[in-house]
Amino acid sequence: MDASTMNVILDIILILASLWMVWEVRGIGGIMGRTLTFIVIGAVILGFAHLQATLTAGVFEYNTTIHRAVVLLGFIFLVVGFRQLRAVK
C-alpha cells in the first residue's frame, strides 16, 4: 500500500471519528449542547481539511493555502466552543 492510499484511508477514518463525535453529542441541550456543537463542527471541518489536502495535492496552485484556510475555519469553531465553555464556569 502506498503512502497516498494510506493517507486517504487515515483521512476517511478521521472524518468518521469526527462524525462519531456528532453522533455522541446529539441530544445534549442548553449551553453545553451548543458549546459541544461548535467544538464538534470544528473537528469535522479539520477532518475534511485533511481529506481536501490529500485529494487536491498538486491539483490547485494554492492547495496549501486553501488547506490552511479550512484549518483556520475549524480552529475558529473550536475557539468559539471553548469560549462558551469558559462562560459556563
Tens of pLDDT along the chain (89 residues)?
Answer: 888 889 889 989 989 998 898 888 888 888 888 899 899 999 999 988 988 888 888 887 888 889 999 999 999 999 999 998 888 77
**Structure-block grid coordinates of residue 59:** 491539483
pLDDT on residue 1:
81
pLDDT on residue 73:
96
In Å, the largest CA–CA distance within the chain is 48
Residues 6 or more apart whose Cβ sits within 8 Å of residue 54: 4, 7, 8, 11
pLDDT on residue 62:
85
pLDDT on residue 71:
94
pLDDT on residue 30:
84
**Shortest CA distance to 41 belongs to which of 84, 73, 83?**
73
Tell if the pTM clears 0.75, that is, is over it. Answer: yes
* CA–CA dist 87, 35 (Å, integer): 10
